Structure 1
Amino acid sequence: MTHQFHSTVLREYDIRGIIGETLGTEDAYAIGRGFGTLIARDGGRLVAVGWDGRVSSPMLAEALVKGLNEAGVNVRRVGMGPTPMLYYAEASAEDVDGGIQITGSHNPANYNGFKMVFRGRPFFGADIQTLGRMAAAGDWDSGTGTAEDVDILDAYIDRLLAPLEGIDPQVLSRLKVGWDAGNGAAGPALEKLAARLPGEHHLLFTEVDGEFPNHHPDPTVEANLEDLRALVSAKSLDFGVAFDGDGDRIGAIDGKGRVIWGDQLLMIYAEDLLARRPGATIIADVKASRALFDHVAACGGQPLMWKTGHSLIKSKMKEVSSPLAGEMSGHVFFADEYYGFDDALYAGVRLIAASARLGKSVTELRSAMPQMLNTPEMRFQVDESRKFAAITEVAARLAANESGSPAEVNDTDGVRVTNEDGWWLLRASNTQDVLVARAESDTAEGLERLLAQIDEQLALSGLERGESVGH
């Protein structure tokens, strides 16, 4: 028995496709059979499985579990919930050897996919390609596994509340917070969490609906935060928190309705953490503001710029023993008092804790940040066969310093060029046929000059910064 996946489905960080077109139950079975085989060959016996609120998730879960069982592996179904609840099921139980969450993340309703953990580490890149080769060759073990249903929601909520221990209850009781679950999988967990949090909490769209009737659950798109902004304004709340479709990415606004972007959230978390862990290494992706790296250093930490991608960041955290990392996309990873995975509900609680411990409102913390001028993430179509080659060409020209201007070039992930005006970034997406650009400066004139440098490099490679495309 063999299986061939659609060419677009096995991606760098996860497996994702369009239901009925590029992804179906046969794929779910093959993923289970392959992943279960790898777990069994590594001496493992038990895999946790969870799923999000999409219409297609239950049928994919059934096929996935069948594949795992027929590879001889036992399954612990933790049910519908946010991706971090599945991560928690894997990380907190000694007898669990791996985990798979069925989720389309922030993609449209007709998408779905799989995020995986193998023996406590992210399962991505070459691991995912291995599943494809095993399926094509029918390289699967056979056996008979069992499946059980275990409700871990209350234990997970208990764990989420831990950061508030030891903080003055009176300070916490004065807080007023808005939350937007976006009809995603985090809704029921958020309801239970908010019921146990001190202070006043107002919730939006906690009913799970895989069609996302109110707004698309991607908190990095400012338009998706309008309902939360209106709630914070109407109720005079201290701040608001929003989640993506599977609850592993956070978005936030302060009491004035200003967006607190991923790198700005990391500034708050870093300031709080470094007061207790001086000298710690804090990781952020190459798209993050210079203000973040400067702030980490000013607070006594070691800033480290790393590649974009939640799996890549998690792996780097383990390598350098970093207690905190984050991405512009809203993935935030805590490994000081938590398990090192991205959990937006936990990040929301940590924002409450940070504000209370630092003795400043979230609005005050946001107001204290430097007013940098930066572009949004610009994403434009470039042929798959050309995107990495173009970046290599740009890097080579910059190394030869053909323009003669003094600049610092960081090639961690694409090219990030820093000069007297600020910095600009050009990188190839690992998941789409696009190039990603971003620039940041202190002045409008400086930003224009940086954008001109991006355009100049693209033109030299026969490309142009076309109309921006979505994720």
Structure 2
Amino acid sequence: MIRTVATTPFEGQKPGTSGLRKKVQVFQQPHYVENFVQSTFDSLSDFEGETLVVGGDGRYFNREAIQKIIKIAAANGFGRIMVGRGGILSTPATSCVIRKHGAFGGIILSASHNPGGEHGDFGIKYNIGAGGPAPEPVTDAIFEKSKTIREYRISDAPDVDIDTLGITRVEDTVVDVVDPVEDYAELMGTLFDFDAIRDLFASGFTMRFDGMSAVTGPYARAILEETLGAEPGTVVRGEPLEDFGGHHPDPNLVYAKELYDLLMSEEAPDLGAASDGDGDRNMIIGRGRFVTPSDSLALIAANAHLAPGYKAGIKGIARSMPTSGAADRVAEKLGIKSYETPTGWKFFGNLLDADLATVCGEESFGTGSNHVREKDGLWAVLMWLNILAVRRQGVAEIVAEHWATYGRNYYTRHDYEEVDSTAADALMADLRSRLDTLPGTVINGLTVEAADDFAYHDPVDGSVTTKQGVRVFFEGGSRVVYRLSGTGTAGATLRVYIERFVADPARHDLDTQDTLADLIEISRVLPDIAGRTGRTAPSVIT
């Protein structure tokens, strides 16, 4: 039976760049999930009898939320609901399933790289039929509905067994519990030369993949170990856990330090890789060489033609504004366009759908292509394996040759996490108020050439997105960027990006933080970070 339940709005159900993210306890409030899901459906139209894909990263409260979503979706008239077995479906795999099966859309339950567990974070994100995150007009409509909602519709049916493959029914809706890996693995087999990668592993090539007790573990084991022949045990922390084993599931130099230390040791395998909570981020480390996400994007773009799915070349490269300009240099050499977008994968969607770009990337450890409409951690790892299998060089050698050809963009990101939101907003407002006066200013010996607040004019639909980050450019090609992140659930995260281009190959193997020391100092004193936030050092450096 379908019930109509009276409710009242909750404040703050505004989706960010990656959906609605709050603490678990917020989502556990009576009616909270129901309100947001019903508001999502109320903002959509013409989905009667259509397919909805549902899954998540396995974090705490994932299963409970899925049962609510199934019952609300059935009550609202969806004809079919595809659910990953056990509630598991990585973000890129969800996009894959939506696209392959012509689904109307999908709901992903994840807070990506944020901590999990009973006292951790949770999130709900709606993806459209193209497979990508809902664009701003849709998320704005969801928020408006959430502010006026007065009732939601939900089935009284028993909970669905989501651990057993097969079909059941809730009301008139077919609920199809599917293998979360199958469709995704099949797609990867069409993009990459699996035979060449098998030969690479058979030749003695070694690897360590850290699943971080998150969603990518089952995918990595199925593809790397069972299909491609990597040694059993190549994938570590491969079981998705509700609290990610008490760890922070973010593949960076802080939270995946054990992997980094291994790759810098004498016992290092040939390749180290990791993925995050929901499987859309990646970290690549060669023996003795960490590859920054910005460099990884550029290297993938320059070598994509070595993979069968990209042998005809790529149409264009898109990067988020804070990502280094390394990919732009590849685009210039290839004679293709490069696009600079705001942070948030949804901004790549129009470019991919219009066939203007093929490879996309963000400095926050996210890389992907037009095969889905999300960034894809395991895809990036497989692309690197394909490159290594064809070139038969080590990661460090490939990186060095790339820098010799294109020059090196020394690059770092300094995060100030859980800063008081009022102080962070005031810091950004002060920077914006000084944009007109900064050019010509000399700071610690460097002259400001230009400064602006990045705005994006979408070349496909003509939309304009403003206030995406303050950019300060210095004479000689260096820059510092400031922006507030929308992915946290407590306070504000101030991200500061520092970059310097060096053409001389003799200066390509210097320490990044030392090479950028003068710019790092400027990045702190220019907005008076210590004075305004009380922070004398960043929480995380990547």
Taking structure 2 as the reference length, the TM-score comes to 0.76
Match of 1:46 in 2: 51
Q: Does 1:155 align with 2:183?
A: yes
Q: Does 1:85 align with 2:87?
A: no
Match of 1:280 in 2: 315
State the distance in 1 between where 2:14 and 2:104 align.
25
Q: Residues 83-109 of structure 1: CA distance to partner in whole angstroms, max 9, x if unpaired?
A: 222221111112x10001112322122
> Structure 1 residue 255: deviation in Å?
1.7
Q: Residues 137-182 of structure 1: CA distance to partner in whole angstroms, max 9, x if unpaired?
A: 2377869651413324223212222223386464564332221101
Match of 1:330 in 2: 365
> Structure 1 residue 48: deviation in Å?
0.8
Equivalence map 1:280-359=2 (5 Å)? 280-318=315-353, 321-335=356-370, 338-359=371-392
> Structure 1 residue 410: deviation in Å?
5.4
Is the Cα contact below 8 Å between 1:36 and 1:72 reproduced in 2?
A: no
Match of 1:399 in 2: 436
Is the Cα contact below 8 Å between 2:92 and 2:280 reproduced in 1?
A: yes
Q: Which structure would you say has the larger RCO, counting Cα contacts within 8 Å and 6 or more residues apart?
A: 2
Secondary structure of 1:347's aligned partner:
helix
Match of 2:256 in 1: 224
Comparing 322-331 and 172-181, the one that deviates more: 172-181
Letter in 2 for 1:344: G
Equivalence map 1:56-455=2 (5 Å)? 56-74=61-79, 75-79=81-85, 80-94=88-102, 96-109=103-116, 110-120=120-130, 121-138=132-149, 145-152=172-179, 153-165=181-193, 168=196, 170-171=199-200, 173-174=202-203, 175-194=205-224, 195-200=226-231, 202-213=234-245, 215-227=247-259, 229-230=261-262, 233=265, 236-256=268-288, 258-273=289-304, 276=311, 280-318=315-353, 321-335=356-370, 338-368=371-401, 369=403, 373-379=410-416, 384=421, 387=424, 390-391=427-428, 393-395=430-432, 397-400=434-437, 401=439, 403=441, 405=447, 407-409=449-451, 411-412=453-454, 413-421=468-476, 422-431=478-487, 433-441=492-500, 442=502, 447-455=516-524
> Structure 1 residue 41: deviation in Å?
3.8
State the aligned residue count: 467
Is the Cα contact below 8 Å between 1:29 and 1:66 reproduced in 2?
A: no
Sequence identity percentage = 19
Structure number with the higher helix fraction is 1
Is the Cα contact below 8 Å between 1:35 and 1:68 reproduced in 2?
A: no
Q: Residues 287-331 of structure 1: CA distance to partner in whole angstroms, max 9, x if unpaired?
A: 222334324423444332221122233344445621011011122
Change (3 A) 1:67 1:234: farther
Change (3 A) 1:407 1:301: same
Change (3 A) 1:240 1:418: same
Is the Cα contact below 8 Å between 2:440 and 2:448 reproduced in 1?
A: no
Change (3 A) 1:354 1:302: farther
Change (3 A) 1:330 1:424: same
> Structure 1 residue 6: deviation in Å?
4.7
Q: Residues 96-126 of structure 1: CA distance to partner in whole angstroms, max 9, x if unpaired?
A: 1000111232212222111221221421545
> Structure 1 residue 285: deviation in Å?
1.7
Change (3 A) 1:426 1:320: farther
Structure number with the higher strand fraction is 2
Taking structure 1 as the reference length, the TM-score comes to 0.86
Is the Cα contact below 8 Å between 2:26 and 2:32 reproduced in 1?
A: no
Change (3 A) 1:367 1:133: same
Change (3 A) 1:119 1:374: closer
Is the Cα contact below 8 Å between 1:8 and 1:22 reproduced in 2?
A: no
Secondary structure of 2:339's aligned partner:
strand
Letter in 2 for 1:239: L
Is the Cα contact below 8 Å between 1:25 and 1:59 reproduced in 2?
A: no
State the distance in 2 between where 1:113 and 1:237 align.
35
> Structure 1 residue 134: deviation in Å?
1.9
Secondary structure of 1:122's aligned partner:
coil
Change (3 A) 1:454 1:63: same
Superposed CA RMSD in Å reads 3.4
Is the Cα contact below 8 Å between 1:333 and 1:343 reproduced in 2?
A: yes
Change (3 A) 1:298 1:418: farther
Q: Residues 353-404 of structure 1: CA distance to partner in whole angstroms, max 9, x if unpaired?
A: 1223445332322333356544432336665456566545534533343627
Secondary structure of 1:398's aligned partner:
coil
Change (3 A) 1:221 1:252: same
Change (3 A) 1:232 1:71: farther
Comparing 321-330 and 290-299, the one that deviates more: 290-299
Match of 2:159 in 1: none
Is the Cα contact below 8 Å between 2:43 and 2:141 reproduced in 1?
A: no
Secondary structure of 1:188's aligned partner:
helix
Letter in 2 for 1:146: T
State the distance in 1 between where 2:15 and 2:75 align.
22
> Structure 1 residue 47: deviation in Å?
0.6
Change (3 A) 1:206 1:447: closer
State the distance in 2 between where 1:25 and 1:350 align.
44
> Structure 1 residue 65: deviation in Å?
1.4
Match of 2:24 in 1: 19
Secondary structure of 1:222's aligned partner:
coil
State the distance in 2 between where 1:211 and 1:313 align.
31
Letter in 2 for 1:326: G
Secondary structure of 1:426's aligned partner:
strand
Is the Cα contact below 8 Å between 2:314 and 2:359 reproduced in 1?
A: no
Q: Residues 322-358 of structure 1: CA distance to partner in whole angstroms, max 9, x if unpaired?
A: 10110111221211xx123222122211111122344
Comparing 174-183 and 272-281, the one that deviates more: 272-281
Secondary structure of 1:377's aligned partner:
strand
Comparing 307-316 and 179-188, the one that deviates more: 307-316
- Unaligned ranges ≥5, structure 1: none
Match of 1:468 in 2: 538
> Structure 1 residue 254: deviation in Å?
0.5
